[in-house]
Structure 1
Amino acid sequence: MIGSAPVGAKRPMDPEIEGTRCGIIATNRFFGTDAVTTMTKQRRLNIVCDIIASVEHSLSSADPQKFSQIKRALSTLILTHRFDATRNLNRDEIRCLQQLKKQSNRIITKADKGDRIVLLDRTAYIDKMRAILTTSKYEPLPADPTETSRKNLGSLLISYATETKDPVLTQLAARLKFASNYKSPELYGLPKLHKPGIPLRPIVSTVGSTTSELSRYLKKIIQPLTGKEPSFVKNSTTFGDEIRNWPLSPDEILASYEVKELFPGIPISHSLTQDFV
């Protein structure tokens, strides 16, 4: 993202934020040293992976015979090698986490950028989300479009599956026949700690919606193309390295701008008529 601050510059922390170097940020009100310390350790938990579920998911499209062989070998390996995970939380810290979860007037989330956990006051969070929805960029729908989307997408996938004989599309079309498999997309906000006033970045989660499984399918097709465009930039660090050595003519000026609400500001009707591929 191109910002108004120089490359590598750090923004001062907003006075609304109370934070520590450990990566835990408490907004509006400090939540207590014990809570902050415990949540810091929670970010570095030695997580025990669900090996069986991960392998089954990875081999879902593999040859059935090879899948069975790998699964049997994995089961034998797990049974013959005992592994006991070591807790890095003591009894008081576990109790502290349980108490935090019970506080209905608190929200525990992550920051929009950076590896930080944010403790928010629920009322302030809801007020900021409502302020976003009351702008001219959003308007209420007369009805939930999930059912209409499910039927239309199902008909479209049946047509494509018949034409291409793709077994994945056939499976997706079959699942779309049942309304109980899906739910409406959900909106939530991630606090932008690097912005004055800590605004929220609106995120629409389509997990569990009618398009979520199709999105994963399309991602596998599109992902190999990532990084092959001349305009591709891996991350902000790479961009900073490239821009420092960018050749400029005497009559050229390099400027940077702070872009506010870039994606919500793009007209949907315009974006749907453009060919970006």
Structure 2
Amino acid sequence: MNRSDYIEKLGQILRNRSKFKLLNKNPTVTQQYRYIKPVGSIPARLYGLTKVHKTNVPLRPIVSCIQSYNYRLGKFLVNIVKSIRNSTYSLKNSDAFIRCLKENSSLSIHKMISFNVESLFTNIPVNRTINIIYEKLYWADLILNPIIPEYATKWTHFLYNGNYYDQCDGVSIGTSLAAIFAEVFMANFEEQYISPLLTNGSK
């Protein structure tokens, strides 16, 4: 097949406007590409911060991912995920919490209780959280290649004491997507279990 026939046959396929749309420019934003593209990457580093308020002073694992190969990709994804998160039962900070308490006139007939998630970040199920994000992206008419969040979370290797490790599940404090993944998963958890209690009451 000569070149002109080749171009014509592909042109016939591409002229199907129900399947293809001709763009007037490259939609890839050069600035975004340059930001995400890893240059001069180094392995992430693991270190621990002491939890001096806990018994036996355990360590909180921190993975410093600055300059790791997928750090900027994760930062880029944070802005996308922020646009579709729904934190019905979350408050911005402690000031907002205090203000909420002061404005609530029914505190005298209720009791306030507190729950703590043990080792929240390392117990975030990555695959389930990615599925939650994709479901929200679908309803928001946003498209994201399925491999991208996995590339930015599950394939994060780090160096500690001369050895290299991969985190098999969960996210680590210090990684780009750790906070937003924790927020998305916990918001989904709260929607599943708190909303029915508010509607039907506890039993």
TM-score over 0.5 (shorter chain):
no
TM-score (normalised: structure 2): 0.41
- Report which of the two structures shows the higher radius of gyration computed on alpha carbons: 1
TM-score (normalised: structure 1): 0.32
